[in-house]
Amino acid sequence: MKNIFVLCVVMVLGCLTLQGQRKSELISENQELKYQLDSIKGIISDAKQAERISLLKAEELQTQVTGLQDANATLMKNLNSFATLSSQNSKNINKTLETLQRKEAQIKSITGGFASADSTALVVLTNAKRTLGENAKVQVNDGVVIISEKLDFFFTDGLGTELLATSKELLAKVGELLNANPEAAITVVGMNITGELHIALNQATAVSNELIVNNAVNGSRISVKAQDGGFKEGIQIRIHPDYKAFYTHAKEDMKNQ
């Protein structure tokens, strides 16, 4: 009986010992698990912190991307506008250049006309000196060759409209000169000091008729006029470019260009 009691005591003590060890192990395992849990919580906390940072960076990057996209869209729009404006400017410049070229051509045409007139005047003057003689009263004024004589050279005492023989000889030479320069126009001017312009006009007409009828000068080239001579009287035969034809040509040239 005593042995049974001892055995029971031993068994109880063994169980208590085992239970104590088990409890100690459980406490140790609990602490280990708690440590591991705390460690995992730290890792999770760090992960969440990193996630928040990543999200913030992603949002920042998205904002930058959106800004760059907007800037790129604006740039493309500006480039398109610039290209359109540049194209329009190029067209305007081309139109301006074409206009300038037309104007230059017009100016060249007009300048060429004036140069041609000056050249013609020089040729007519040279021919006049050769045809009429060195003593002929010939001068050039503003590109116009002027052959002049007093009224009494053409008409007796400078009166009437009947031409003297000596004046007809001069007019024959003038007719030869005019026919040698068919592009030039002629204006016959009668001048007196009395203010009787109808008489001066009749005398200029008499000279014109002599050139047309007896010297084969084309009448369409000749115009007559009368003017107050102031302190001088006489007849002037003015040989000049055909201004009407010149300005008509210049006008047509401008219209065509």
Q: What are phi and psi of 73, to 5 degrees?
A: -65, -40
For residues 174 and 132, the answer to whether their CB atoms sit within 8 Å is yes
Rounded to whole angstroms, the Cα distance separating 95 from 103 reads 12
Selected residue with higher pLDDT from 249 and 51 = 51
Residue 76's Cβ-side half-sphere holds a number of Cα atoms within 13 Å equal to: 6
Q: Which sign, positive or negative, has the C-alpha torsion 198, 199, 203, 204?
A: negative
pTM: 0.54
Mapping DSSP onto H, E and C, the string for 114-143 reads HHHHHHHHHHHHHHHHHHHCCCCCEEEECC
Q: What would the pLDDT profile of 26-66 be if each residue is shown by its tens digit?
A: 777 777 777 777 777 777 777 677 777 777 777 777 878 78
pLDDT beyond 80 at 101: no
Q: For position 85, what pLDDT does the model report?
A: 73
For residues 241 and 185, the answer to whether their CB atoms sit within 8 Å is yes
Q: For position 70, what pLDDT does the model report?
A: 82
Q: For position 115, what pLDDT does the model report?
A: 46
Lowest mean pLDDT among 67-81, 83-97, 135-149: 83-97
Rounded to whole angstroms, the Cα distance separating 115 from 213 reads 33
Q: What is the DSSP string of 178-203?
A: HHH-TT-EEEEEEEESS--HHHHHHH
pLDDT beyond 50 at 172: yes
For residues 171 and 210, the answer to whether their CB atoms sit within 8 Å is yes
Rounded to whole angstroms, the Cα distance separating 219 from 13 reads 165
Q: Percentage of the chain surpassing pLDDT 90?
A: 34
pLDDT beyond 50 at 170: yes
Q: For position 189, what pLDDT does the model report?
A: 97
Give 233's pLDDT tier (boundaries 50, 70, 90): very high
Tokens of 5: 């009691």
Q: Which residues pair with 225 in a beta bridge?
A: 189
Selected residue with higher pLDDT from 145 and 118 = 145
Q: Please, what's the b/e burial string for 148-164 (b: 16 or more CB within 10 A of its CB; e: otherwise)?
A: bbebebbbeebeeeebe
Average pLDDT in the 125-141 region? 83
Q: For position 110, what pLDDT does the model report?
A: 47
Average pLDDT in the 230-243 region? 89
Average pLDDT in the 108-122 region? 53
Q: For position 60, what pLDDT does the model report?
A: 76
Average pLDDT in the 196-225 region? 96
Give 109's pLDDT tier (boundaries 50, 70, 90): very low
Average pLDDT in the 10-19 region? 67
CATH of 39-257, one of 3.30.1330.60, 1.10.3720.10, 3.30.70.240, 1.25.40.10: 3.30.1330.60
pLDDT beyond 60 at 114: no
Give 84's pLDDT tier (boundaries 50, 70, 90): confident
Q: For position 111, what pLDDT does the model report?
A: 45
- Where exactly are the structural domains of the chain? 39-257
Q: For position 169, what pLDDT does the model report?
A: 95
For residues 113 and 250, the answer to whether their CB atoms sit within 8 Å is yes
